[in-house]
Amino acid sequence: MATILIPISNGFEEVELISLVDVLRRGGNDVRMAYVEREIDTDLIVGDNGITIKADTALKNICSEEFDMMLLAGGWDNAYTLRDDELVQTLIKEFYNDNKVLGAMCASVLAFKEAGVLGNDYTCYPYAKEEVNHDGYRDDKMVVTDGNIMTSRGPGTALCFGLEIVKRLVGVESYEAVKEGMLLDFCE
């Protein structure tokens, strides 16, 4: 079992966040959602489409040593907050420097670009590609892995992204069990 941190803020992409948390927990991972405080002072976070999620804790309470991975869901407002927040950027760099797995999808790839950790092989939401403005963009895969950096395209790829993370952090047996149980045969 791995322990995964997901920082979130208002404007997160609901399909991505819920899909990732669900698949990862089914795969046996401990997933903790932490709200970014500079924007709000409540654990009730409102997504891009008005769905409210209760975060587990505030990001200021997080110690990176307790986690194996940091994962970012998309949503434009959330992506900009993750890109611009000093603590989020510090944590991304800590995870990267400690050779831990980092994952981002959709527009949240902007936060990796800002932190200087985005590799030479990545994907993101197609309409975010120009703003990310980084060589190595791929549109031929739902999930791209470049060393310890994992990226995915958007809402429609969130389940498959979660599965790939399960495979990497927990193993093929758990990956296959979750894939079969959720009828995710369309995931590569």
From the candidates 106, 124, 160, 187, which is the catalytic residue? Answer: 106
Q: Which CATH number fits domain 3-181: 3.40.50.880, 3.40.50.2300, 3.40.50.150, 3.40.50.740?
A: 3.40.50.880
Least confident of 6-10, 11-15, 184-188: 184-188
Which of these, 24, 40, 7, lies nearest to 158 by C-alpha position?
Answer: 24
Q: What is the pLDDT of residue 40?
A: 66
Q: What average pLDDT does this structure show over 152-181?
A: 97
Q: What is the pLDDT of residue 38?
A: 66
Per-residue pLDDT band for 39 (boundaries 50, 70, 90) equals low
C-alpha to C-alpha distance for 104 and 61, rounded to whole angstroms: 21
Per-residue pLDDT band for 81 (boundaries 50, 70, 90) equals very high
Which helix (H) or strand (E) element contains residue 120? none
pLDDT tens-digit map of 19-32: 999 999 999 999 99
Is 160 one of the catalytic residues?
no
Which of these, 35, 29, 31, lies nearest to 18 by C-alpha position?
Answer: 31
Q: Which residues contact 25 (CB under 8 A, 6 or more apart)?
A: 31
